Structure 1
């Protein structure tokens, strides 16, 4: 069992929160020359094995390599949930964008009275910093502002995984239209691409019992493997009605990037872009059976090393 597994088993939630905060604050004070060593330490603590950054072969090790040696300003702009909209508009068209209700530099600027009954708030510069509001009447506005303010002060890269491209994002808040599909929630369709070629896809459903994922080949036959991260495997999910369109758009958006995960929603017969992610699951996902990690690692061609803000990490 990894150190993380032991900690989750024996430490109360408050202690785990304290430990995560201590790691974050420590990382914020590190000299960049330490990032590589600390990334390897973090990976070993969470996964129970070393991460090979010298000669990476598996897909997940290569994703961790990309964090240090391919974190460019372009990736930061496209990981930014506001700035990416212009790129999507120019590359595949306005129709794929979830309608935008507002963008602000501070939560104090948000006029909640002017927003519709349902909406989604997101911090632009990280992962998972979202507030889904299904009924505004039940929203604790003061608490919402505090959460957003806290997120704006945080650096995604320093949480432990050193996803350095997030350092190029611009911390802001966006508000998007609330979407719901036929599942009663909002299912994610996520397409893993290597230089624009779709390798496999997986669905993500979030419910009261947690997160469920199912993995599929590009033709939507169930894959002979599962690609999972802190989630349960779902039963078979029907192919999206507009699968061919999703595949085509994923190929266009993923072209030119060694590894990019392109996310979509399908609502009322329309395809919406969700986000583009360059370091899926912070490099912590795993394959079952594990041999597919090497199979897809062989397909993932790493680019030449690039310095981060002038420093070769």
Structure 2
């Protein structure tokens, strides 16, 4: 046990009200707080300033506004990693989905013997917790994987950032094919920032597990001078690898992003390119739950200005 480390944490807990709120929130002490009050308090803790719901200006402020007032039932389907498959099939085509291996309600229902040597297991209602990326089944600790999946299923992902579309997603486990590209070691994420059906910027994330870099490009594939969206405690990576080149399927990604973001004030549409073909990743309404940062910070305002909020607030 690191006594000094725990002593510092206790001291910070007692002296820093923002740190204390975030710690208590993680323990579930504010689960019954209204979405509006919770978001106001968390925004102040994370961003260091008050949240203005009446006159939101920045990208982050407007995402919080959309959490409260832009609530359409189809958003719940769109964030469900299982149900969204049918949605994507109908919108752009089944051929752009990563192949599904299976779906289960309980980790004990999974027949690991029947799974291929490589696969990905994940919960359909959250982001990361419980995920298993298996590259060699012979080395898999099945008991550990099941325990992690149970932790994932138990997570109420909505409560962390009050991202309400996740609140009523029926929780399941899905297995997808492990996808590999012949030319890159790790798949790149191509994340299109779309404003009411118009993709404006593509965020490219490379080398997540080694030396992560974040790049933004416009729709003419011109490299931009800003970067983001990272949580405040996570620094941006320096470029030690070449800037990503234009993906072969870029035009198809852009076309599909337009279709999937139509009539939505803001949504991020994610794709992969695998061996020259586009595959759908996910739809994200609130990147970093609206608590991320851009560098330089002026882009928080520039991107915020691109979000045109609906005239009617529907609670």
Q: TM-score range by the shorter chain?
A: 0.7 to 0.9
Separation of aligned partners in 2, 1:305 and 1:40? 18
Q: How far off its partner does 1:180 sit?
A: 1.9
Partner of 2:295: 288
Matched with 1:25 is: 28
- Structure number with the bigger relative contact order (C-alpha 8 A, sep ≥ 6) is 1
Question: Aligned Cα RMSD in Å?
Answer: 2.3
Aligned position for 1:168: 168
CA contact (8 A) 1:121 1:174 kept: yes
Gaps of 5+ in 2: 14-18
- Alignment partner, residue 178 of structure 2: 178
Q: 2:66 maps to what in 1?
A: 66
- Aligned runs of 1:1-313 on 2, under 5 Å? 11=9, 20=23, 23-28=26-31, 30-31=32-33, 34-129=34-129, 130-159=131-160, 161-181=161-181, 182-209=183-210, 211-229=212-230, 230=234, 231-234=236-239, 235-303=242-310, 304-307=312-315
Tell me by how many angstroms 1:170 deviates: 1.4
Moved more, 80-89 or 229-238: 229-238
Q: For residues 73-124 of structure 1, what are the alpha-carbon distances to aligned partners after superposition, in whole Å with 9 as ceiling and x for unaligned? A: 2111110000000010000001110000001111111011100111111110
Contact 1:201–1:215 (CA under 8 A) maintained in structure 2: yes
The change in CA–CA distance for 1:201 and 1:178 in structure 2 (over 3 A counts) is: same
How far off its partner does 1:24 sit? 4.4
Q: Tell me, yes or no, if the aligned pair for 2:261 and 2:267 is still in contact at 8 Å.
A: yes
Over residues 255-284 of structure 1, what are the superposed CA-to-partner deviations in whole Å (9 max), with x where a residue is unaligned? 121101000011112110000001111112
In structure 1, list runs of 5 or more residues that go unmatched.
Answer: 1-6, 308-313
What SS is found at the alignment partner of 1:175? strand
TM-score, with length taken from structure 2? 0.87
Moved more, 44-53 or 176-185: 44-53
Distance 1:78 1:208, change over 3 A: closer
Larger Rg: 2
CA contact (8 A) 1:262 1:275 kept: yes
For normalisation by structure 1, the TM-score amounts to 0.87
